[in-house]
Amino acid sequence: MNKKDVIIALDFKDRAETMDFLQRFTDEKPFVKIGMELFYGEGPDIVREIKDRGHSIFLDLKLHDIPMTVKKAMKNLALLGVDMTNLHCAGTIEMMKYAMDGLTEGALEAGREKALLIGVTQLTSTSEERMQKELLINASINDCIVKYAENAKEAGLDGVVCSPLEAAMVKDACGKSFLTVTPGIRYPGAEVQDQVRVTSPADARAIGTDYIVVGRPITKAEDPVAAYRKVCADFLG
């Protein structure tokens, strides 16, 4: 697994669509993200199958439960062979530490390297207003994101998911080696779809983020392999 990389979001409805897409890649094996839709529809076999094809996998299930449940679930994800996975930082530092323990136990049992564990701070769909009014968090959303990132670091997590615009803030608070994984990547002039704050691959590179998650600019492109190569060239240089 590379230290910096482009992760393609496999936001497809089922295995058939996913495999149709992946079989276009004959010369390279992109790092891919499997989300809830595909995982809950197809089950863990989809992870094993894509892993067997040689791809690194970010399993995006955003766990949030009592610490022991999360630990046991993480152990099973480690046994599945995922390379990166995530949880909600809102589950507390204790839950995050248990999650790390689960991943470590699973990695030892499987004889694999431990998967990277990434925290979700505040979802980009949560506005500051809703966070304050409904969740009763009496802080600015940026302060909340930084505090959750600091908690994640304290628990031993490898990094957080954030918008490219928040990545600099997180790096300032948690240090350069604390990973940032950033969606919301678009080329200037392209359709932004439901994303609001977007950044180009080159700008994401300049900001210093570690992994970018790119979905539709690659999956809906006329030539997805060419689109993937362009994103890689612009982000990785």
* Residues noted as catalytic: 62
Q: Which long-range contacts (CB under 8 A, 24 or more apart) does 166-173 make?
A: 166/121, 166/142, 167/204, 167/207, 167/208, 167/209, 168/207, 168/208, 169/142, 169/145, 170/145, 170/146, 171/208, 173/146, 173/149
Q: Which stretch binds ligand C5P (CB under 6 A): 49-57, 81-89, 104-112, 179-187?
A: 179-187
- Mask for 62-81, x = binds ligand C5P (CB under 6 A): --------------------
Q: Which listed residue (195, 202, 203, 207) binds ligand C5P by CB under 6 A?
A: 195
Q: Give how many residues touch ligand C5P by CB under 6 A.
A: 15
Residue 111 CB, nearest approach to ligand C5P (Å): 30
Outline where 5-134 has alpha helix (H): 15-22, 36-42, 45-52, 67-80, 92-110, 128-134
Q: For the chain, what is the radius of gyration of the CA atoms?
A: 17
Q: Which stretch binds ligand C5P (CB under 6 A): 18-26, 51-59, 136-144, 180-188?
A: 180-188
**Residue 175 exposed, middle or buried by CB count within 10 Å (0-12, 13-18, 19+):** exposed
Q: Which of residues 2-41 bind ligand C5P (CB under 6 A)?
A: 9, 11, 35
Q: Is 213 in the site for ligand C5P (CB under 6 A)?
A: yes
Question: Which residue number is nearest to ligand C5P in terms of Cβ?
Answer: 215
Q: Is 181 in the site for ligand C5P (CB under 6 A)?
A: no
Q: Is 216 in the site for ligand C5P (CB under 6 A)?
A: yes
Other Cβ atoms less than 10 A from the Cβ of 44: the count is 15
d(CA 70, CA 2): 27
Residue 182 CB, nearest approach to ligand C5P (Å): 8
Q: Which listed residue (214, 224, 227, 231) binds ligand C5P by CB under 6 A?
A: 214
Q: Which listed residue (123, 206, 226, 236) binds ligand C5P by CB under 6 A?
A: 123
Residue 37 CB, nearest approach to ligand C5P (Å): 9
Cβ proximity of 142 and 187 under 8 Å: no
d(CA 122, CA 151): 13
Q: Which stretch binds ligand C5P (CB under 6 A): 22-30, 135-143, 169-177, 183-191?
A: 183-191
CA distances from 4 to 114, 162, 226 (A): 17, 15, 19
Q: Is 142 in the site for ligand C5P (CB under 6 A)?
A: no
Q: Give the binding site for ligand C5P (CB under 6 A).
A: 9, 11, 35, 123-124, 161, 183-185, 195, 213-217
